[in-house]
Amino acid sequence: MSKYTPMIEQYLKIKAQHQDSFLFFRLGDFYELFFDDAIKAAQELEITLTSRNGSGDDRIPMCGVPHHSATNYIKNLVDKGYKVAICEQVEDPKDAVGVVKREVVQLITPGTVMDGVMLDEKENNYLASLADFDDDTYSLIYIDLSTGETSGALVTTGWEQVLNELYNRPVKEVIITTGLLEAEKQSLIERLNVTISYSEKSSLTETYRHLVAEIDNEHLITGFSQLISYLETTQKRALDHIKPLQLIELNQYLGLDMYSKRNLELTETIIKKSKQGSLLWVLDQTVTAMGARQLKKFLERPLLNRSVLEKRYQFVEGLMADYIKREELRDQLKSIYDLERLCGRVAFGNVNARDLIQLKLSLDKVPHVKEILATFTEAEIIKLGEALDPLTDLKEFLGKSLTDEPPMTIKEGNMIRDGFNDELDQYRDASRNGKQWIAELESQERQATGIKSLKIGYNRIFGYYIEVTKANLHLLPEGKYERKQTLSNAERYITPELKEKENLILSAEEKSVELEYQLFLKIREQVLDYIPRLQQLATEIGQLDVFQSFATISEQQGYSRPDLTTTGELEIVKGRHPVVEKVMSDATYVPNDVYLDQDTQILLITGPNMSGKSTYMRQVALTVIMAQIGCFVPAEQAKLPIFDQIFTRIGASDDLVGGQSTFMVEMLEAKHALTYATENSLILLDEIGRGTSTYDGMALAQAIMEYVHDYLGAKTLFSTHYHELTSLADHLTRLKNIHVRAEEFDGRVVFLHQIRSGPADKSYGIHVAKLAELPASLIERANVILEQLEQTKTPEQVSDQSDQLSFFINEPAEQAKDKEPSQLEQQLKAINIMELTPIEAMNQLYQLQQLLKEED
């Protein structure tokens, strides 16, 4: 292979240090990619693949994008999980000896995006650092680099909880050490779909030690150091906007595993993965980017702290009390810029003058917000208003230093206000007066020569010139003008006087633009000092926006303030599903009551498909979550305990990536609930056992309900199509049967969506098939078969069914004590159910079934 050019050799040396990234190599006005990068980028970005150097196999694949429009191409790659290394020229080509020196000035990864074009203003963009330790502890450190927010948690309950915790936030990239187990690394990629990066554990440098001053756990500090080391390596610039590390005490928040968050569709729908149709979609009435992100964080971590929740209710109630003032407040908040991300760009050095003017205009709104808050009657609202820092000093500084409408870039001039800097004013005066002098000279020359078309112009090559058409050349006096350029129909001249003024004007303009740039850099440095105050203001504005959002949706939808009980009683009067209710805006939603207490721990729900069993279960969980983030709830009245965890098994969701069937997923999710639930938890189980044979399914469903009833004590909603299980109410004292009402009219079933006491009388399976518009002949045949089965059922068959059912329902002790225990009964008594895995349980059931056949 022929020898590479010096430029390609330079590229290869830099690429060798960034093997896992696309290298955007700056050549003039383009970023170029070579070799495998070019081939892959051309496919991903759908751009033309070309080549350079040599011929045949020696040609180097190449593609490129213009540097001025590179942002969208970079965003495309980063959105797909790739990393992009930006390689720029770091010396003036005029000063270069040989190849211009180039360096990677920034590594853009899914977790380190800073450009506003690449970010969703309503979403945080988290980078997580994961460190594992010998004592089976994992530290998780999160940062949103665009806002500087950092937080950390310790996980001591196993790897599955690490996955649950990472799933709980919109994490785009996870930093791990090379020592992490390969199986754990693969589960991060496959189950969470995140980009993996590497950084080793190290001690924290003194520069960042103040950010962990309040943290006394070395595991957390080590994980934070691992994160900072990665950021320093990849970003190569100041990180002054990073906030002190906040400790997340996981036991202070409502536990929601990844299954529950997905099943309840808190922030996105299961099928479309979109915000619309989720609980977040319903609750989001925020008007600022800061508020939208804060609301999502509230949903990610519902609270267990009663006093904080009551304070949030006070805010919501106070804001609901005065519609007009709340609307005035919303109008003021709408004009407030994204202060959090502005702080990040100031620290990164990519903020422009327009951003700072937006900051000034935002600060102009804060006094108005304070005035409005002072007029409410709720003390907590007044207190928040008093705490808002208007940063008057920063606002005044920006007002006197920057013009009202600066340009987009910071190297064009016209950013700094007149009177801010004496030297700049002098340059501007020279430039402005010089231009006036040029205009006056043009008028004088026209009069002196009599050439009305004579004009004085300017271009970058020749500077200022006097242009005369060829038809008027005879009118020019001899010896005064020096020819500079000849055009097809005119000549251009200069004079000593014009040249002297040109030097003065151009020198003043050049120096003015350069001085403005330097002054702006100093202004930006001064704004850095205000970052902590700006971040505090951003947090308070964001929380205020969330509270007004809660108040707005609560008033619109008729939500009520929940009463948090300490007795464990749960009573929801005329509760609704918040999402379904909003989607059914043109129809009447049928509300339902829910009641659970110490005497009623489990609700066993029966009823036909499509009747609303799953909706009923979900609305209970969503009501609890809304209450525990501080929002009012969709009910006429609600008394709720504070739940520590919510577990759900709702809907079929095969884990195809993990190679697990629907039934296995059911069992795993049920196992998770049965392992970690407490008497203060809420469990929702929808048709457990349907993924296997009828008797296996009923056996498992009954065993699960008995275990929850006898050992856990958690409040549970359990829906089933196994009508035989309704008999469990006879011996499980804290289980109550309820059903979703349906009626049959003229051979058609009508779902009334009303919850009533007692078990359902029939399943209406064929009626549902009819609603689904299965072929009429098929429906008719199914009815014939059903009628035959019902008519041919003999007393012996009924007795057989009773015997089979007694296998699942405990036989009364007075009937059993006179009978000699069979081998089957002996084996049943010998089984320790609590120690069986789902697979072992199925094997035992099979053996017992075989034994039963032998005894027959």
The answer on 657 and 679 residing in a single domain is yes
How far are the Cα atoms of 117, 333, 564, 643 from residue 567, in angstroms, in the given order? 51, 40, 9, 12
**pLDDT confidence tier of residue 802, bands split at 50, 70 and 90:** very low
Q: Hey, which of 35-39, 87-91, 133-137, 838-842 has the most confident mean pLDDT?
A: 35-39
Q: In CATH, what number is assigned to the domain containing residue 69?
A: 3.40.1170.10
Alpha-carbon gap, residue 22 to 78, rounded angstroms: 10
**What pLDDT is recorded for position 593?**
96
Alpha-carbon gap, residue 111 to 174, rounded angstroms: 8
Helix (H), strand (E) at residue 755: strand 748-757
Alpha-carbon gap, residue 763 to 771, rounded angstroms: 14
The answer on 186 and 84 residing in a single domain is no
**Which of the two residues, 508 and 596, has the higher pLDDT score?**
596
Alpha-carbon gap, residue 523 to 664, rounded angstroms: 61
Percent of the chain clearing pLDDT 70 (strictly above): 89
Q: Tell me the residue ranges of DSSP E strands in 110-261.
A: 126-132, 138-144, 149-155, 171-176, 195-198, 246-247, 255-256
Task: Check pLDDT > 90 for residue 257.
Answer: no
Q: What angle do CA 643, 644, 649 make, to 5 degrees?
A: 85
Span 91-119, mean pLDDT? 89
The answer on 716 and 595 residing in a single domain is yes
Q: Is residue 452 part of a domain?
A: yes
- DSSP calls for 428-485: HHHHHHHHHHHHHHHHHHHHHH--TT-EEEEETTTEEEEEEEGGGGGGSPTTT-EEEE
Task: Check pLDDT > 70 for residue 54.
Answer: no
**What pLDDT is recorded for position 835?**
62
Span 702-711, mean pLDDT? 92
Alpha-carbon gap, residue 779 to 766, rounded angstroms: 7
**What pLDDT is recorded for position 271?**
85
Q: Which candidate, 346, 182, 133, 155, places its Cα nearest to that of 257?
A: 155
Q: Are strands 602-606 and 255-256 parallel, antiparallel or unpaired?
A: unpaired
Cut 0.75: pTM above it: yes
Expressed as residue numbers, the domain containing 293 is 284-391+530-557
Q: In CATH, what number is assigned to the domain containing residue 758?
A: 3.40.50.300
Q: For the sheet containing 60-66, what is the strand order?
A: 50-52, 60-66, 30-34, 22-27, 84-89, 102-108
Contact 822, 830 (CB under 8 A): no
**What pLDDT is recorded for position 658?**
45
| Residue where one domain finishes, among candidates 87, 108, 129 | 108
What are the tens digits of pLDDT across the range 535-576? 999 999 999 999 999 999 999 999 999 999 999 999 999 999
Burial class (CB in 10 A: 0-12, 13-18, 19+), 779: middle
Q: Is residue 301 part of a domain?
A: yes
Q: Residues marked as binding? A: 607-614
Task: Check pLDDT > 60 for residue 803.
Answer: no
Contact 305, 252 (CB under 8 A): yes
Count of helix runs (H) and strand runs (E) in the chain: 28, 27
Domain count for the chain? 6
Span 667-682, mean pLDDT? 88
**Which of the two residues, 296 and 650, has the higher pLDDT score?**
296
Q: Is residue 400 part of a domain?
A: no
- DSSP calls for 329-369: HHHHHHT---HHHHHHHHHHT---HHHHHHHHHHHHHHHHH
Alpha-carbon gap, residue 431 to 503, rounded angstroms: 10
Least confident of 484-498, 619-633, 823-837: 823-837
Q: In CATH, what number is assigned to the domain containing residue 178?
A: 3.30.420.110
**What pLDDT is recorded for position 813?**
42
Alpha-carbon gap, residue 354 to 404, rounded angstroms: 9
**Which of the two residues, 316 and 825, has the higher pLDDT score?**
316
**What pLDDT is recorded for position 801?**
43
**pLDDT confidence tier of residue 57, bands split at 50, 70 and 90:** low
Task: Check pLDDT > 60 for residue 699.
Answer: yes
| Residue where one domain finishes, among candidates 83, 108, 133 | 108
How far are the Cα atoms of 141, 225, 234, 785 from residue 229, in angstroms, in the given order? 13, 6, 9, 71
What are the tens digits of pLDDT across the range 201-243? 888 889 999 999 999 999 999 999 999 999 999 998 888 999 9
Percent of the chain clearing pLDDT 90 (strictly above): 61
Q: What angle do CA 337, 111, 286 make, to 5 degrees?
A: 30
Least confident of 133-147, 161-175, 677-691, 775-789: 775-789
Least confident of 96-100, 613-617, 716-720, 831-835: 831-835
Q: Hey, which of 114-118, 389-393, 493-497, 672-676 has the most confident mean pLDDT?
A: 389-393
The answer on 826 and 732 residing in a single domain is no
**What pLDDT is recorded for position 842?**
65
Task: Check pLDDT > 80 for residue 793.
Answer: no
**What pLDDT is recorded for position 55?**
58
What are the tens digits of pLDDT across the range 437-455? 888 889 999 998 999 999 9
Q: Is residue 633 part of a domain?
A: yes
Residues 6+ apart with CB under 8 A from 187: 159, 163
For residue 59, the 8-state DSSP code is: P
The answer on 579 and 494 residing in a single domain is no
Residues 6+ apart with CB under 8 A from 226: 129, 131, 141, 175, 177, 199, 200, 201, 202
Sign of the C-alpha dihedral computed for residues 839, 845, 848 and 849 taken in this order:
negative
**What pLDDT is recorded for position 797?**
44
Span 2-11, mean pLDDT? 86
What are the tens digits of pLDDT across the range 354-380? 999 999 999 999 999 999 999 999 999
Task: Check pLDDT > 90 for residue 92.
Answer: no
**What pLDDT is recorded for position 808?**
43
Task: Check pLDDT > 90 for residue 819.
Answer: no
Q: Is residue 116 part of a domain?
A: no
Q: Residues marked as binding for ATP? A: 607-614
Alpha-carbon gap, residue 413 to 510, rounded angstroms: 9
Alpha-carbon gap, residue 345 to 825, rounded angstroms: 73
The answer on 745 and 605 residing in a single domain is yes
**What pLDDT is recorded for position 401?**
96
Q: Is residue 274 part of a domain?
A: no
What are the tens digits of pLDDT across the range 460-501? 788 899 999 999 998 988 888 999 889 989 999 998 888 888
The answer on 356 and 499 residing in a single domain is no
| Paired strand residues for 594 | 572
The answer on 585 and 548 residing in a single domain is no
Contact 302, 629 (CB under 8 A): yes
**At which residue do the structure tokens 């990665």 appear?**
230
The answer on 320 and 235 residing in a single domain is no
Q: In CATH, what number is assigned to the domain containing residue 321?
A: 1.10.1420.10
The answer on 154 and 78 residing in a single domain is no
Least confident of 32-36, 407-411, 535-539, 600-604: 407-411
Q: Is residue 264 part of a domain?
A: no
**pLDDT confidence tier of residue 815, bands split at 50, 70 and 90:** very low
Alpha-carbon gap, residue 811 to 822, rounded angstroms: 14
Span 413-435, mean pLDDT? 89
The answer on 662 and 571 residing in a single domain is yes
| Residue where one domain finishes, among candidates 52, 77, 108 | 108
The answer on 426 and 349 residing in a single domain is no
Alpha-carbon gap, residue 220 to 238, rounded angstroms: 22
What are the tens digits of pLDDT across the range 317-331? 999 999 999 999 999
**Which of the two residues, 334 and 117, has the higher pLDDT score?**
334
**What pLDDT is recorded for position 809?**
44
Q: Which candidate, 76, 71, 109, 104, places its Cα nearest to that of 230?
A: 109
Q: Is residue 258 part of a domain?
A: no
Task: Check pLDDT > 50 for residue 99.
Answer: yes
What are the tens digits of pLDDT across the range 146-205? 999 999 999 998 898 999 999 989 899 999 999 999 999 999 998 899 999 999 888 888
